[in-house]
Amino acid sequence: MSNNRRGFLRELASVVTAAKDAPEPVVPDLSDAEVERYSRQLVLPEWGAAAQLALIEASVLVIGAGALGSPVGLYLAGAGVGRIGIVDDDAVELSNLHRQLLHFTPDLGTPKAESAAAKLRFLNPDVVIEPYQVRVAAANAPALVEGQDLVVDCSDSFATRYAVNAACCAARVPVVEAGVLGMAGMVMSIKPGRTACYRCAFPTAPADAPRCADAGVLGPAAGVIGSLQAMEALKLLTGVAPAIADGFLQVDLATAEFLRVRVARREDCPDCSPL
Ligand SMILES: [Zn+2]
């Protein structure tokens, strides 16, 4: 990229930042390659250099490298999040491949965390990718989320989502929760102590919650929900737009209906009420 082009982008970023009444324009020391790689988001009026710097300095933990974790990992690594942890203890199976876009047929039998990390390093070698081949549970969730700027929960069970929500609330780490099944799903951003948490929205798990293996799931449905999670993550990390907080977005891909459901914080919530 020419110096003129790079200078234009920096000048544009400074003007946009100043126009939003920020105290001082922040211009990160981006290399020519970084300016080129991120140019299509750098020129967004809402984005600019300050948002890019926030991403580069961020550490994000993605829990699950499956149907939701695949688009989340791809978009966050592509956007330039500085450090991404990928947590998954499963291995790639043939039945995963119709919806889990980070894994290919030659990856069968490979740990998903390693398979995902390899693809994300190919996509963006500037991002530090850390695979963790562990199963997330209430016992280890606090240690995993400690020190993260954001957690994106792409797990596939109520038990894991509750464990992640509780750990993130306790550590005051923002988290994006989501779920998908069949042709529908939901997405919710949580700022612990400030907005309703996952437990506020869903105090107890349904007694007979179906699983993907039994009820099925379509790949594009998971892709939409995972992409929404990635969008929420970028909003929470940069502040460029309001997140889906104090409620969740319910998505029905069969009818193409998106419904915003409001949720108030519960005074008796065991996860977030003491905050
Ligand atoms: Zn709560």
Does residue 113 contact residue 135 with C-beta atoms inside 8 Å? Answer: no
More confident residue, 29 or 238: 238
Within 52-134, strands assigned E span 59-63, 83-87, 128-132
**What percent of the chain is predicted at pLDDT more than 70?**
90
pLDDT at 34 over 70: yes
Q: Which of 92, 54, 97 is nearest to 76 (CA)?
A: 54
Give the per-residue pLDDT at 11: 54
Q: Does an H or E element contain 153, and which? A: strand 150-153
pLDDT at 274 over 80: no
Give the per-residue pLDDT at 237: 98
More confident residue, 11 or 212: 212
Residue keyed to tokens 């009818």: 255
Give the per-residue pLDDT at 210: 76
Does residue 253 contact residue 232 with C-beta atoms inside 8 Å? Answer: no
* Strand-pair partners of 80: none
**What percent of the chain is predicted at pLDDT more than 90?**
83
Q: How far is the CA of 139 from the centre of ligand 1 (A)?
A: 19
Give the per-residue pLDDT at 2: 43
Q: How far is the CA of 239 from the centre of ligand 1 (A)?
A: 22
Residue 112 exposed, middle or buried by CB count within 10 Å (0-12, 13-18, 19+): buried
What's the mean per-residue pLDDT of the chain? 91
pLDDT tens per residue, range 44-67: 999 988 999 999 999 999 999 999
Q: What whole-number distance in Å separates Cα of residue 230 and Cα of residue 227?
A: 5
Mean pLDDT over residues 13-30, rounded?
52
CA angle 199, 205, 206 (to 5 degrees): 145
What pLDDT band is residue 8 in, cutting at 50, 70 and 90?
very low
Q: How far is the CA of 61 from the centre of ligand 1 (A)?
A: 21
pLDDT tens per residue, range 65-76: 999 999 999 999
Produce one character per residue of 148-184: b if its CB has 16 or more CB atoms within 10 Å, e if not.
Answer: bbbbbbbbbeeebbbbbbbbbbbbebbbbbbbbbebb
Model confidence, pTM: 0.90
CA angle 78, 80, 81 (to 5 degrees): 115
pLDDT at 94 over 80: yes
Active-site residues, by number, are 212
Q: How far is the CA of 177 from the centre of ligand 1 (A)?
A: 13
pLDDT at 26 over 50: no
Q: How far is the CA of 53 from the centre of ligand 1 (A)?
A: 31
DSSP for 170-202, please give it: HHT--EEEEEEEBTEEEEEEE-TTTS--HHHH-
